[in-house]
Structure formats: C-alpha cells, structure tokens
Amino acid sequence: QVQLVQSGAEVKKPGASVKVSCKASGYTFTSYYMHWVRQAPGQGLEWMGIINPSGGSTSYAQKFQGRVTMTRDTSTSTVYMELSSLRSEDTAVYYCARESTVGATPYWGQGTLVTVSS
C-alpha cells in the first residue's frame, strides 16, 4: 500500500533553514508528482509547490519563490522540501501529498511540525 513517511518535528530559530523529508513506498516513485502543503496552527491548507520525481522539475507557489527548494533522491524514494530564511509565520505542519492518476491528492504524509521561535 502507498505510504508516505515524513521526518520528525523541528524547532528552528528565525533566519535558519529547515529540510523536511518524505519517504515514499508501495508504488513506483517516479510515476507520480508530489506536492508540499502546509497548515499553520488553526488555519487552512496552503499549497507550496510540486516536484516531478522522475526528472526533478519543480514549480513553486509565488509566495515561496526564492525561499523554497524541492528535491528528490530516486535511490531512496525520498522527496525533500527545504525552506530558508524562516520566520515565526512559517510555524506550521508541513505535508507531502502524492497525486493520483486523476490529479487529486489521495495520499498524504503524517505531517511534520516545524516551529520557528527565538
């Protein structure tokens, strides 16, 4: 069965960077795009960007351009999301979410809480 297992919670200081991983299993890693979505405490869902695990191409939400980098390692079936220049407003749960053949995202990781605090 499809599983997306994310790395553990992180606490970072303002100005630092964080790198969250999402290890996929149960399917052919390079066959489906992966999205990153975040959710601030008590808030809604916010799309950050997408990566094609096959070729590594990416597309980012304009809000995060210049601060976010999504990469993948096909040898370990893992995608990564790195966010730099962290500020308190980046405190959120970060999710990876895999597309399906119909384009929606039925598979989600368990989420990674990133706390930005001095």
Partner 1 sequence: EIVLTQSPGTLSLSPGERATLSCRASQSVSSSYLAWYQQKPGQAPRLLIYGASSRATGIPDRFSGSGSGTDFTLTISRLEPEDFAVYYCQQYGSSPMTFGQGTKVEIK
Q: Would strands 92-98 and 112-116 be described as parallel, antiparallel, or unpaired?
A: antiparallel
Instruction: Kindly tell me which of 85 and 100 has the beta carbon lying closer to partner 1.
Output: 100
Instruction: Kindly tell me which of 73 and 99 has the beta carbon lying closer to partner 1.
Output: 99
Taking CB under 8 A as the criterion, the residue among 27, 69, 73, 108 binding partner 1 is 108
**Cβ partners under 8 Å of residue 101, min gap 6:** none
Interacting residues with partner 1 between 42 and 101 (CB under 8 A): 44-47, 50, 59, 61-62, 95, 97, 100
**Cβ partners under 8 Å of residue 64, min gap 6:** 48, 49, 83
Give, rounded to a whole angstrom, the gap between the first and last alpha carbons of the chain: 40
Least distance to partner 1, CB of residue 44, Å: 5
Number of residues that bind partner 1 (CB under 8 A): 22
Which tokens is 46 given?
């916010």
Least distance to partner 1, CB of residue 102, Å: 5
Taking CB under 8 A as the criterion, the residue among 21, 77, 78, 105 binding partner 1 is 105
Sign (positive/negative) of CA torsion 105, 80, 78, 59? positive
| Chain contacts with partner 1 (rule: CB under 8 A) | 35, 37, 44-47, 50, 59, 61-62, 95, 97, 100, 102-106, 108-111
